[in-house]
A and B are shown apart, each in its own frame.
With several copies, the nearest count.
Chain A
Amino acid sequence: MTPRWLQGFWRLVGLGALSALFLLPFAYMLAFSVKSPSEIFGGSLSLLPATLDGLANYPNALARSPLLRHLWNGLIVCAGILAFQLVFAIPCAYGLAKLRFRGREVVFGLVLFGLLIPIQATSLPIYLGLANFRLLDSYTALIAPFVSSAFAIFLFRQFFRTVPDELLDSARLDGCGEFTIVIRIVLPLAAPTATAFAIFSVVSHWNDLFWPLIVIRSPEYFTPPLGIMGFRSAEAGDRYGELMAATALITAPLVLAFLAAQRRFIEGISLGALKG
């Protein structure tokens, strides 16, 4: 028998190694962002920069493109997408989870089916539709294709199924209609799920490159990743440092927001809000 503390120790080592594996690329990103070009291509894998020249990467990156404007665009687009996703997904998920109607399983099957369809497959028709309504190159073009998220519906439905029916019956007897139930009872309970979904949604749309690249032409609507594309021309091979600095800058808001909301988020996710 291995003693217990030793088992625990090996577990800790294993988990630590796994998380290091996760974090290593991120650490390299930060490291590259403060290295000078010569050092990056020197091929050393050390994390700490040899000189501090590389710090100039940050001002250079800010000077080369209106990164703040891009961050602002990113904020508007992500907030818009998230708001619509929640507004559409929550009532839909409530219906799928808790109301009995004919065809419910079929509709849910379609939602699951929707999870499968990649944006690549549907991009052309959506593009043509937007072009038809002269909506290309606008916030609408960035937001509209994502307002209904099959993943959100799926996630909320799974959560709503864990809400006891008695709670809803009780609200019905207390005089609430279905709409009031969603607003007053279900929505507050879903807060942790909504937080989790918000993170997924914001992260993926904040970092999305594919769609903005297709529908946006004017730099004033550039989202952060589009802004970074400026550093990515084939000839700009010696600007990896600036590229990494810009990447660090556009990743920073996400990381900061996460750290700020961390406690509440982890609590919500860890405990679930349904005890009692």
Chain B
Amino acid sequence: MVGPSGCGKSTLLRILAGLESQDSGEVRLDGRSIDGLPPKARDVAMVFQSYALYPHMTVRQNLALPLVMRDLTRLERLPFARRLSRRVAAKRLDIAAAVDRAAGIVALTDLLDRKPKQLSGGQRQRVALARALVRRPRLFLLDEPLSNLDVALRADTRGEIVDLQKRLGATTVYVTHDQGEAMTMASRIAVMMDGSIAQLGTPQEIYRRPADTRVARFIGAPAMTLLDGSIVRGSLRLTGGDAPLSKVAGAADGPVTIGIRAEHLRVTAEAAAAPIAATVHHVEFLGAEVIVHLVADRLPGAPAMVARLDPHAGERLSAGARVGVRPDPSALHLFDPDGRRIDTAVPGAHDFSVAS
């Protein structure tokens, strides 16, 4: 349940797994520190971005390896031990059963005797998952497990992983750079930025109350529009704009950054009457909705604004059209000059689900 960033997250995962040691801080699992333990003593399983299947082993051998290493002593692992000792033979049978069970969970039973080379990307991904879950560890670490898959396959596999996680109930840390993946899969997201965690919360919290501009820009597609503005005597104004956008309570006067989600920008045909006059830059058709990129006429240097419209409204717009843009005053996000969220700033920001 780790969220996205540019870098630092894979390192964090490797620290959790014990593959690298941290400079400071402590790693705890179920309340006990596992700091000094080597990877194999941590009871942690990890799925790597490249899957890291052993190419010279069949799927069955890939799945059996973690169990063989855990359950058999060095002597018992020798190839002839199975013949000599009944105990080893029994253990080997247990392992075979566990492998079959794990393969069943991810629907791989038919492919057990193939080598990784003979599998498709999605199948390899399932083998990697099965290898992680075969020994029922206390913690699953998933490092961008979907990034090598096709977009279409990714959506399916996403659902499968969520299902699996729910059925097994094991704590899972899922690292991804794709905010959509994080939003749909996680029960709690930690958004990592520049090596530290910028925000930790449920997808809803992070989407609706991003802690700073970096999180606001990162989470949500299309990205939140961020405009420069200022609070003058309790009234919010765009830098370069005329009309005040809304009243603000409980925030000091001064410059602010105003964040507006694409679904909270209303686009109207009358450019003059709206608070922001803008020109349509381009229109993206997404099937069920249309994303319109707008450039404000009187805000030089301001970034493009992005609005989400339904296809009916969006298709009447084309590049170059002059329109008016009206942000929903009850759904604005305010950030101070350092990028931190100003919290009680906009009246009505809390109940935006009604406003949307």
Contact = CB atoms under 8 A, between A and B. Distances in A.
A202 interface: no
Interface stretch (B38-46, B213-221, B316-324, B337-345): B38-46
A169 B52 contact: yes
A176 B46 CA distance: 14
B48 A174 contact: no
Interface in B122-154: 124, 131
Contact of B48 (A170, A175, A185, A275): A170
A4 B19 CA distance: 12
Interface residues of A, number: 24
Interface string A33-48: 0000000000000000
Interface in B239-277: none
A191 B40 CA distance: 27
Contacts of A172: 19, 38-40
A274 B52 CA distance: 11
Contacts, number: 68
Interface residues of B, number: 28
Given A276-B116, A276-B124, A170 B56 contact: no
Given A174-B65, A275-B117, A276-B124, A189 B56 contact: yes
A127 B41 CA distance: 50
B50 A180 contact: no
Contacts of B66: 173-175
B45 to A, nearest CB: 6
A272 to B, nearest CB: 10
Contact of A174 (B49, B50, B55, B131): B131
A1 interface: yes
A118 interface: no
Nearest to A177: B40
B281 interface: no
A273 B116 CA distance: 11
Nearest to A3: B36
A188 interface: yes
Interface string A121-156: 000000000000000000000000000000000000
Given A173-B45, A276-B116, A276-B124, A167 B39 contact: no
B55 A176 contact: no
Contact of A173 (B44, B53, B116, B119): B44
Contacts of A170: 46, 48, 52, 54
A166 interface: yes
Contacts of A185: 54
A276 B53 contact: yes
A64 interface: no
Contacts of A175: 40, 66, 69-70
Interface string A61-105: 000000000000000000000000000000000000000000000
Nearest to A271: B117
Contacts of A109: none
A251 to B, nearest CB: 33
A174 B95 CA distance: 14
Contacts of A276: 53, 55, 115-117, 119, 124
B307 to A, nearest CB: 38
Interface of A: 1, 4, 164, 166-167, 169-177, 180, 184-185, 188-189, 191, 273-276
27 contacts: A1-B38, A4-B38, A164-B50, A164-B52, A166-B48, A167-B54, A169-B14, A170-B48, A170-B54, A171-B54, A173-B39, A173-B45, A174-B40, A174-B66, A174-B69, A174-B131, A175-B70, A176-B69, A177-B40, A180-B69, A184-B65, A185-B54, A188-B56, A189-B55, A191-B56, A274-B55, A276-B55
